[in-house]
């Protein structure tokens, strides 16, 4: 991508979109197009068509989505499916209609079967049942990936798709009702320390294994793909390393300085037993993550703990914009 190219970052105020915007700016891209969800509702077909007719972007980074953790995914099942389908359908269709030169669609590792062999290769997609709690979100992301493939097959569009692992970093969501596990644990341990609580409750057994990638590393990987990858098959983005939720909890406990006990509520769901991505394809393209998990958690905690202390948190989800 030439530095003067007109690049639309969809979802620029979410954790992923804001990281993409930062990376583009740091790299020297200066002709960037953004809209907040108040300015442009990506679920509105007519509004998205008018936006593309006006702005005519050369490239599109599609990071806009309705996102959340186990509770949010399982509670707002219809919203997660409908909103994400509408967002991606509208942006992908108009990208074709208005001659976008290349589009990157960001999916999620939750698209893979619940009991997929580990580490998960890209070809395991649709090889088995999904995890029930996040099935609507996963189905929407699978549809987006397949829509990119279909536009490529029928019209020759250079639309590519990347499947990131679990993400964390600046701009994360710390609402205990809607957040993912890492920011939720960070907030729980921080508040337990501040309030001198004797124990912190964690959902499930603590035995599931998860992989975590700093969002700034994801942003670097995405720009790498925009420059070096032009194929139909999706690409996994991750570290290729994982740990148990128990080990993650102990790490965050150390970083936050909490000295109390940990209680595991085994009546709550664990989710998928393991989700470790095979990242050999991404590594073969010349990219490797650079931010270690402890380093990343320490950096995020240092820069956001005051925000966590003051945020009240809402029981509602929002569309990142």
- Give the residue ranges of the annotated binding site for NADP(+): 11-17, 106-109, 141, 164-167, 180
Long-range contacts of 225-232 (CB under 8 A, 24+ apart): 225/104, 225/160, 225/162, 225/285, 226/1, 226/59, 226/61, 226/102, 226/104, 227/1, 228/285, 228/286, 229/160, 229/285, 230/102, 230/158, 230/160, 231/160, 232/149, 232/152, 232/153, 232/160
Per-residue CA distances from 164 to 3, 73, 129 (Å)? 25, 18, 20
Q: How far, in Å, CA of 109 to CA of 212, rounded?
A: 11
- Residues with catalytic function: 137
Closest Cα to residue 215, out of 3, 1, 22, 60? 22
Binding residues for substrate: 188, 203, 210, 270
120 strand-pairing partners: 277
3-state secondary structure (DSSP) of residue 287: coil
Q: How far, in Å, CA of 147 to CA of 152, rounded?
A: 9
Q: How far, in Å, CA of 198 to CA of 166, rounded?
A: 29
Q: How far, in Å, CA of 65 to CA of 68, rounded?
A: 10
Binding residues: 11-17, 106-109, 141, 164-167, 180, 188, 203, 210, 270
């Amino acid at each position: 991508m030439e530095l003067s190219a007109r690049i639309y970052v969809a979802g620029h105020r979410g954790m992923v979109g804001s990281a993409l915007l930062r990376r583009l700016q740091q790299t020297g891209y200066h002709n960037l197009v953004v809209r907040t969800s108040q300015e442009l509702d990506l679920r509105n077909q007519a509004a998205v068509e008018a936006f593309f007719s006006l702005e005519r972007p050369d490239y599109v980074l599609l990071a806009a989505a309705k996102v959340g953790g186990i509770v949010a995914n399982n509670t707002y099942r219809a919203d997660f499916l409908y909103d994400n389908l509408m967002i991606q359908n509208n942006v992908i269709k108009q990208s074709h209609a208005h001659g976008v030169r290349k589009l990157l669609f960001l999916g999620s590792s939750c698209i893979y079967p619940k009991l997929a062999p580990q580490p998960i290769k890209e070809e395991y997609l649709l090889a088995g049942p999904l995890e029930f709690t996040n099935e609507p979100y996963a189905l929407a992301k699978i549809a987006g990936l397949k829509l990119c493939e279909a536009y490529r097959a029928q019209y020759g569009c250079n639309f590519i798709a990347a499947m990131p692992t679990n993400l964390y970093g600046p701009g994360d969501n710390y609402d205990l009702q809607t957040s993912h596990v890492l920011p939720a644990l960070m907030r729980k341990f921080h508040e337990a320390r501040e309030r001198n609580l004797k124990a912190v409750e964690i959902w499930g057994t603590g035995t599931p294994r998860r992989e975590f990638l700093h969002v700034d590393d994801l942003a670097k990987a995405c720009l790498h793909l925009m420059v070096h990858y032009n194929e139909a098959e999706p690409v996994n983005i991750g570290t290729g390393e994982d740990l148990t939720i128990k080990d993650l909890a102990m790490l965050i406990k150390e970083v936050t300085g909490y000295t109390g006990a940990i209680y595991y509520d085994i009546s709550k769901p664990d989710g998928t037993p393991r989700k470790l991505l095979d990242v050999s394809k991404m590594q073969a393209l010349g990219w490797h993550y650079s931010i270690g998990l402890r380093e990343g958690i320490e950096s995020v905690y240092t820069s956001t703990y005051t925000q966590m202390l003051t945020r009240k948190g809402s029981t509602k989800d929002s569309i990142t914009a």
